[in-house]
Structure 1
């Protein structure tokens, strides 16, 4: 089965929390990786999302970065909340 990964950078203007990550995250830029697999048997190329991960600063002192599996809806909710907050 063919798979592909898409990378994008999302920016948060305010500190935020997202389901799947057990600590609050500071404002900043975050890399989001989406893995997709090709749907076989169609007459055209089509992919379905199989995983969404976010790379964040590590909460522990032993590591610099951690990768967490998150839901795409949870990410969209966090972005919507961030955009609706007044700038400080």
Structure 2
């Protein structure tokens, strides 16, 4: 089965927490990877979401931590509200 990974950068203006991440994380840019798996047995090309991970850097150590994509979207929306920006979140 074919799997593809989409990488994107998300930005937080305020400290944030997410289930799966230990403690409060500093504002800044974070890499997020969304894995999708090809759906077979149909006559058109289609994918389904199978995993989302966030890259966390602590010193020289880099970790990919599984996160809930809807919780990430909610945290980004809350960050925009707190920073006074209009929500630009779109559905994947």
Please say whether Structure 1 and Structure 2 have the same fold, judged by a TM-score greater than 0.5: yes
Q: Distance in 2 between matches of 1:86 and 1:74?
A: 18
Question: What residue in structure 2 maps to residue 69 of structure 1?
Answer: 66
Matched, 1:85 2:79: no
Structure 2: gaps (5+ residues): 85-92
- Displacement of 1:86 after TM fit? 3.3
Q: Distance in 2 between matches of 1:15 and 1:67?
A: 19
Runs (4 or more) in structure 1 with deviation over 2 Å come to none
TM-score (structure 1 length as normaliser): 0.88
Aligned residues: 84
RMSD: 1.3
Q: Secondary structure at the match of 2:76?
A: helix
Question: What residue in structure 1 maps to residue 18 of structure 2?
Answer: 18
Q: Distance in 2 between matches of 1:9 and 1:37?
A: 21
Q: Secondary structure at the match of 1:54?
A: strand
TM-score (structure 2 length as normaliser): 0.84
